[in-house]
């Protein structure tokens, strides 16, 4: 294990977090709020520590997948802890576990909150909460790759550990350019949504926070009823952009690269829109009776489906009151999640496609036991390794899920609450059902459950394995017992 | 190889080239390593999924699995925006096909590796007819390098410049050498037409100034004109005998090229080859050589065939470990000049520590030629790199520029140019004569100029200016 490079990258991450705190600071200055000083203090401190650790480039800059996973997990734990400190200093969330839960929920783009009264929080802190969504959506390390001059191929291991999806490829030969293209698309779409919301007469502060929330598919709102009090047009814009941010970003890259054929050939994107369409239609007919006119019902159905499948977690109405069929569909969508290579979380549409194809293949082999059939996606054969990793991912996903539900149920809440609280945090959505539903929040849970759910959020965002690798005995041993040879190698 | 780019590279400000490399074998791998260090955008194509994933994990390149000669695969690799395609698969024919298709679809230049001796005489015809930029033959280049060393057996390495008019010779300073303890300018005055370009001392390479004092164990490179090599070495206290006979182990392509070249220079050649069929082939191709069918790694056979008395011994088997062991064996039992061919590049530090003497790396020769071409392509159209050599573990580059158009360096006396440090203008070749430049000499359009420097990545002659 190359500790020096891990330390160096963590230092860089600290520097970046420090710099990012300029955004809430500016907000605080605009609104003349003294909370800005907390962010100033933490930002400067974090930046200074970062500079101190990175003052010397390590001589051995080689790192492998193992180091990539460790550094990614550690970075995410680090940023959620550092990002939580200002909340404690301002006194808005005095308890560390609560603040950590809230910040991790922000960076992992979950959007689950422990705050009972969001409107009582200062603009400064609200901006930071929403801004963590935007950073966490595309990933801190991808950001690092885009802005810091690095060369060599081994840093694909960083991108691999942080980017969602079963297989990670590059758009262009250089990883720095790939990361920069992703961030450019991301920034461009963010600006468009913000401008549209402002044109639709949303207050600029709300518009910015809501845009950050939907771009990162996070879901922190700035009002107690999430998006319920916004106008119909504003809700439509937010809903549509949630859906767009849940699309695999390769889709947009091909569009920009003038290869629309490749864009529309992407099976994952087509299935994704298919699922959205079907769910909207079913829920629409299911809830029509609850609304005065059909357009309102359609808007509510579309907004909720778009918000849940992309794992954003905004709500325009309290869907906890909807019929069971609609709620069941929403819970199902929570698990499917958005496309790979998007900012959304969940199991990912592409994995769902691959998994269901393997089931069909298996069924087929009962009928023709000697048949040879390769599973394809987008017209390309899927390598055995990818299939295997999807299968293993599924098992691990279920195992962690079950264990988490078990741990959360210790405190004795009802089953729906326990089940959906894990589903909503593990898949990075936000609101669940019953006591953690859209009209409620996570404050009612015990600290133990909050810690479990916080780790679930990070595990879900990093797609399980980087965090599991961190706790692998062999890796723990290497982290804590510094080997002499690691300094000699170059 | 690290993740943080080196800052001393001069090429970072230029637009990166888009390069496709077909085939990720030994040469392909070296090329990827070298070109990605030069900052180019590289896409690699290979049929093996495993190789692609290994290389994309190691280098910042994009990989595509498929047949490089296929139109759709080339399209997918972005042949339309590509500047250069290099085909270095195992098959000559596939390489030629890749390049032919690439030049027809895109506007890119194409370089193919063609190794088969049957094509080697038709190389120029093939290149011109198929519209290729270059055809490279690592085996032949390696053989030529071995032949040059055998011509000056006390040298470690001999590289040629200016179409062979100038050569750079590398030798090791022995304990009892007469230049030990003397300064560079004293030695240079004593031996005419010699310019010291590089000194390798204590694990580092330097461009020496006149005051450097030679110490035993130094490895020194100097430039001299074509016919002066022997005299120059003699005046430096490294007398050179003529090689009259040479024993080659292994009868591959490189062995054939080397034997043919040596026979042309009337050196008698003995080839030991294990495979009966190949022996018969070689015997018909090289009627003047002695072909022995036997195991070249058997000490008894080597003794029987006279390894103890032979003037030169060149192990050219396909297996590096065998070559290295044979070299060490030959150094023990005989006085012969030994040149070792090393194909792979693993365990470089171990190889360096073995004191093998002269070593040639066919892969490096190939990649140097291609990098020279790529750099010239990246630079302005009127400048051109004729030759490029990496020396001393890639820390020193010797580059020969052809001056195609007036620039900031032309027409100005060298003493008035503000040159970078750690850099030397070694010679100017004008109308076939080699000039070792003094302060009043100028660089003119039409010259070729050789630069030796510890900066890496020069692509244009104006890069020499500070």
Q: Phi/psi class of residue B312: alpha, beta or left (left: φ > 0; alpha: ψ in -120 to 50)?
A: beta
Which residues are paired to B199 by β-bridges?
A: B206, B220
Q: Do A174 and B60 touch (CB under 8 A)?
A: yes
Kindly report the backbone phi and psi dihedral angles of residue A229, in degrees, each rounded to the nearest multiple of 5, phi listed first. Answer: -90, 5
| Structure token pair of residue B369 | 């030629």
Measured CA to CA, the distance from residue B20 to residue A201 in angstroms comes to: 51
pLDDT of residue A166: 66
Q: If phi over 0 gives left and psi between -120 and 50 gives alpha, with beta otherwise, what is residue A482?
A: beta
Q: With an 8 Å Cβ cutoff, are A149 and B43 in contact?
A: no
B181: left (phi over 0), alpha (psi -120 to 50) or beta: left
Task: Return all residues near B90 (Cβ < 8 A) that are at least 6 apart.
Answer: B23, B25
Over pLDDT 90: what percentage of chain B? 20
User: Do residues A374 and A138 make contact, with C-beta atoms less than 8 angstroms apart?
Assistant: no
CA dihedral A318, A319, A322, A327 (to 10 degrees): -160
Interface residue B82 vs chain A (CB under 8 A): no
Instruction: Decide if A5 contacts A64 (C-beta within 8 A).
Output: no
Q: Which two tokens stand for residue B322?
A: 């065998």
Query: pLDDT band at residue A488, thresholds of 50, 70 and 90?
Result: very low
Give CA–CA dist A353/A356, Å, rounded.
5
pLDDT digits (tens, 9 = 90+) for A288-303: 888 888 899 999 999 9
A151 vs B36: CB contact, 8 Å cut-off? yes
pLDDT at A281: 94
By Cβ distance, the residue of A61, A169, A174 closest to B3 is A61
> Which residue of A5, A63, A153 is in closest CB contact with B61?
A153
For residue B377, what pLDDT is reported? 80
Are the C-beta atoms of residues B425 and B438 closer than 8 Å to each other?
A: no
Q: Do A152 and B61 touch (CB under 8 A)?
A: no
Does the pLDDT at position A490 exceed 50? no
Q: Is B12 in contact with B5 (CB distance < 8 Å)?
A: yes
Q: What is the pLDDT of residue B345?
A: 66
Q: What pLDDT was estimated at residue A309?
A: 92
What tokens appear for A273 in the block? 């829109």
- pLDDT per residue over B75-125, tens digit each? 888 888 888 999 999 899 999 999 999 988 878 889 999 988 888 888 888
B166 pLDDT exceeds 90?
no
B271 strand-pairing partners? B248, B291
pLDDT band (50, 70, 90) for residue A379: confident
When mean pLDDT is compared across A26-30, A170-174, B49-53, the lowest value belongs to A170-174
- Range with the largest mean pLDDT of A223-237, A273-287, B54-68, B239-253: A273-287
Residue A149's pLDDT is what?
Answer: 61
Angle subtended at Cα A443 by Cα A441 and Cα A449, rounded to the nearest 5 degrees:
110
Q: Which residues pair with B413 in a beta bridge?
A: B442
Q: How far is CA A134 from CA A110, A218, A315, A334, B445, in A?
A: 11, 8, 19, 20, 57
- Sequence-separated (6 or more) residues with CB below 8 Å from residue A340: A164, A165, A166, A248, A268, A348, A349, A350, A351
pLDDT in tens, A415-443: 999 999 999 999 988 888 888 888 888 88
Closest chain B residue to A172, measured at CA: B62
Helix (H), strand (E) counts: chain A: 23, 2
Query: What residues of A are in contact with residue B43 (Cβ under 8 Å)?
Result: 173
Residue B114 Cα distances to A331, B94, B121, angstroms: 61, 10, 11
The answer to whether residue B39 neighbours chain A at the CB level (below 8 Å) is yes
Contact, A262 vs A279, CB < 8 A?
no
| Partner-chain contact A149 B4, CB within 8 Å | yes
Distance from CA of B204 to the nearest CA of A (A): 17
Q: φ and ψ at B345, to 5 degrees?
A: -120, 15
Task: Please say if the pLDDT value at position B381 is more than 80.
Answer: no
How confident is the model over A344-370, as pLDDT tens digits? 888 899 899 999 999 988 898 898 888
Read off the tokens for A331: 């819970």
Query: B9: pLDDT confidence band, cut at 50, 70 and 90?
Result: very low
* Partner residue facing A151 (CB), from B41, B58, B60: B60
Is the ipTM of this structure higher than 0.90? no
The region of weakest confidence among A186-195, B307-316, B393-402 is B393-402
> Measured between alpha carbons, how far is residue A281 from residues A161, A322, A368 in Å?
36, 15, 37
The residues with which A381 forms a beta bridge, in sequence order, are A376
- In total, chain B counts a number of residues equal to 466
Contacts of A485 (CB under 8 A, 6+ apart): none
Residue B398, C-beta contacts closer than 8 angstroms, at least 6 positions apart: B159, B161, B168, B197, B387, B388, B389, B391, B426, B450, B451, B452
Q: Does B4 touch chain A (CB under 8 A)?
A: yes
Please give the domain boundaries of chain B with CATH numbers for all domains: 10-136 (3.40.50.720), 245-360 (3.40.50.720), 379-464 (3.30.70.1450)
Alpha carbon distance A25, A253 (integer Å) = 34
Average pLDDT of chain B?
A: 85
Distance of CA B133 to the CA centre of its chain: 19
Each residue of B205-226: pLDDT tens digit? 888 888 888 888 888 888 888 8
Q: Shortest CA distance to B349 belongs to which of A57, A59, A488? A: A488
Confidence bin at A165 (pLDDT 50/70/90): low
Q: In sequence order, what are the residues at sequence separation of 6 or more whose Cβ sits closer than 8 angstroms to the Cβ of residue B83?
A: B17, B18, B19, B108, B109, B377
Distance of CA A239 to the CA centre of its chain: 17
Give this prediction's pTM. 0.80
C-alpha span between B62 and B390 (Å, rounded): 26
For residue B327, give Cα distances in angstroms to B193, B274, B297, B456.
33, 18, 11, 32
Alpha helices (runs of H) in A57-95, residue ranges in sequence order: 65-90
Is B43 within 8 Å of chain A by CB? yes
Distance CA B388, CA B172 (A): 22
CB contact under 8 A, A153 and B36: yes
Q: List chain B residues with CB under 8 Å of A168.
A: none
Most A CBs within 10 A among B47, B49, B60, hence the mutation to make, goes to B60
Q: Is the pLDDT of residue B2 over 50?
A: no
The whole-angstrom separation of Cα A399 and Cα A279 is: 27
**Are A204 and A332 in contact, with CB atoms under 8 Å apart?**
no
| Cβ neighbours of residue A324 closer than 8 Å, sequence gap 6 or more | none
| Residues in chain A within 8 Å Cβ distance of B4 | 57, 61, 149-152
Where is average pLDDT lowest: A138-147, A231-240, B21-30, B64-73? Answer: A138-147
CB distance A175–B4 less than 8 Å?
Answer: no
H-helix segments, A153-259: 156-162, 175-199, 204-215, 232-245, 249-256
> Are residues B60 and A175, on separate chains, in Cβ contact within 8 Å?
yes
Contact predicate B360/B340, CB 8 Å: yes
Give residue A96's pLDDT: 92
Q: Are B275 and B252 in contact (CB under 8 A)?
A: no
Asked if B89 and B73 touch (Cβ cutoff 8 Å), the reply is no
Q: Minimal CA–CA distance to A436: which of A288, A315, A266, A343?
A: A315
Which chain A residues touch B16 with a CB distance below 8 Å? 174
B429 CB within 8 Å of a chain A CB: no
pLDDT at A171 over 80: no
Token pair in block for residue A350: 């592409």
How far apart, in whole angstroms, are the C-alpha atoms of residue A423 and residue A420? 5
CB A102 within 8 A of CB A93: yes
């Amino acid at each position: 294990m190359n500790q020096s490079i891990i330390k160096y990258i963590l230092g860089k991450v600290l520097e970046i977090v420090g710099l990012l705190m300029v955004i809430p600071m500016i907000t605080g200055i605009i609104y003349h709020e003294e909370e800005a000083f907390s962010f100033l203090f933490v930002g400067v401190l974090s930046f200074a520590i970062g500079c101190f650790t990175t003052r010397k480039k390590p001589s051995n800059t080689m790192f492998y997948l193992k180091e990539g996973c460790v550094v990614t997990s550690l970075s995410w734990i680090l940023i959620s802890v550092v990002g939580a400190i200002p909340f404690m200093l301002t006194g808005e969330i005095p308890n560390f576990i609560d603040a950590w839960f809230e910040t991790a929920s922000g960076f992992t783009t979950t959007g689950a909150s422990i705050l009972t009264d969001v409107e009582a929080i200062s603009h400064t802190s609200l901006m930071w909460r929403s801004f963590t969504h935007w950073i966490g959506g595309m990933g801190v390390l991808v950001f690092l790759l885009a802005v810091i001059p690095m060369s060599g191929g081994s840093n694909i291991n960083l991108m691999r550990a942080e980017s969602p999806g079963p297989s990670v490829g590059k758009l262009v030969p250089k990883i720095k350019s790939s990361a920069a293209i992703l961030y450019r698309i991301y920034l461009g779409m963010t600006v468009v949504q913000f401008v549209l919301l402002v044109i639709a007469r949303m207050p600029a502060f709300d518009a910015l926070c809501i845009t950050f929330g939907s771009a990162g598919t996070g879901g922190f709102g700035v009002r107690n009823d999430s998006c319920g009090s916004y106008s119909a047009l504003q809700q439509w814009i937010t809903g549509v952009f949630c859906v767009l941010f849940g699309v695999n970003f390769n889709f947009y890259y091909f569009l920009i690269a003038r290869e629309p054929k490749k864009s529309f050939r992407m099976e994952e994107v087509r299935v994704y829109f298919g699922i959205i369409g079907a769910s909207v239609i079913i829920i629409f007919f299911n809830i029509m009776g609850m609304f005065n006119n059909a357009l309102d019902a359609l808007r509510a159905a579309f907004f909720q489906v778009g918000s849940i499948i992309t794992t954003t977690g905004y709500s325009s109405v309290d869907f906890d009151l909807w019929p069971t069929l609609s709620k069941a569909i929403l819970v199902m969508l929570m698990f499917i999640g958005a496309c790979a290579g998007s900012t959304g979380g969940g199991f990912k549409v592409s994995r769902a496609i691959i998994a269901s194809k393997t089931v069909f293949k298996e069924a087929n082999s009962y009928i023709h036991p000697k048949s040879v059939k390769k599973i394809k996606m987008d017209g390309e054969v899927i390598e055995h390794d990818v299939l295997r990793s999807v299968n293993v991912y599924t098992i691990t996903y279920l195992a962690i899920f079950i264990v988490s539900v078990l741990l959360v149920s210790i405190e004795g809440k009802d089953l729906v609450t326990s089940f959906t609280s894990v589903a909503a945090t593990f898949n990075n959505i936000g609101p669940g059902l019953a006591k953690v539903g859209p009209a409620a929040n996570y404050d009612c849970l015990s600290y133990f459950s909050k810690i479990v759910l916080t780790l679930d959020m990070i595990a879900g965002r990093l797609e399980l394995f980087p965090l599991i690798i961190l706790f692998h005995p062999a890796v723990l041993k290497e982290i804590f017992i510094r080997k002499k040879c690691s300094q000699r190698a170059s | 190889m690290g993740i943080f780019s080196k800052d001393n590279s001069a090429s970072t400000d230029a637009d990166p080239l888009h390069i496709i490399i077909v085939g990720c074998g030994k040469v392909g791998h070296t090329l990827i390593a070298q070109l990605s260090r030069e900052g180019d955008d590289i896409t690699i194509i290979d049929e093996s999924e495993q190789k692609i994933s290994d290389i994309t994990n190691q280098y910042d390149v994009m990989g595509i699995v498929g047949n490089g000669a296929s139109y759709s695969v080339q399209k997918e690799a972005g042949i339309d925006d590509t500047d250069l395609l290099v085909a270095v698969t195992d098959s000559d024919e596939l390489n030629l096909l890749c390049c032919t298709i690439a030049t027809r679809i895109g506007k890119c230049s194409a370089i193919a590796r063609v190794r088969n001796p049957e094509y080697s005489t038709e190389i120029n015809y093939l290149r011109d007819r198929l519209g290729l930029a270059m055809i490279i033959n690592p085996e032949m280049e390696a053989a030529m390098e071995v032949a040059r060393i055998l011509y000056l057996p006390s040298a470690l390495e001999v590289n040629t410049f200016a179409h062979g008019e100038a050569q750079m010779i590398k030798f090791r300073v022995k304990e009892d050498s007469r230049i030990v303890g003397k300064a560079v300018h004293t030695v240079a005055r004593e031996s005419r037409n010699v310019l010291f370009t590089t000194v390798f001392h204590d694990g580092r390479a330097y461009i020496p100034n006149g005051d450097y004092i030679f110490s035993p164990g130094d490895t020194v490179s100097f430039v001299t004109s074509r016919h002066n090599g022997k005299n120059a070495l003699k005046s430096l206290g490294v007398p050179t005998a003529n090689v009259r006979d040479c024993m080659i182990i292994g009868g591959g392509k490189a062995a054939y090229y080397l034997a043919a070249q040596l026979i042309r220079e009337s050196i008698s050649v003995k080839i030991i080859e294990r495979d009966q069929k190949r022996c018969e082939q070689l015997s018909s191709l090289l009627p003047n050589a002695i072909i022995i069918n036997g195991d070249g790694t058997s000490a008894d056979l080597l003794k029987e065939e006279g390894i103890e008395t032979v003037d030169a011994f060149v192990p050219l088997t396909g297996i590096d470990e065998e070559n290295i062991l044979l070299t060490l064996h030959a150094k023990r039992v005989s006085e012969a000049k030994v040149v070792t061919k090393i194909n792979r590049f693993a365990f470089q530090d171990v190889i360096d520590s073995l004191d093998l003497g002269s070593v040639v790396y066919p892969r490096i020769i190939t990649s140097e030629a291609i990098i020279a071409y790529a750099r010239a392509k990246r630079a302005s159209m009127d400048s051109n790199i004729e030759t490029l050599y990496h020396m001393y573990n890639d820390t020193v580059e010797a580059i020969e520029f052809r001056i195609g158009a007036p620039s900031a360096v032309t027409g100005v006396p060298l003493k008035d140019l503000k040159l970078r440090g750690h850099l030397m203008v070694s010679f100017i070749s004008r109308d076939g004569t080699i000039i070792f430049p003094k302060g009043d000499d100028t660089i003119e359009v039409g010259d070729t100029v050789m630069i030796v420097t510890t900066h890496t990545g020069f692509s244009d002659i104006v890069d020499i200016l500070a």
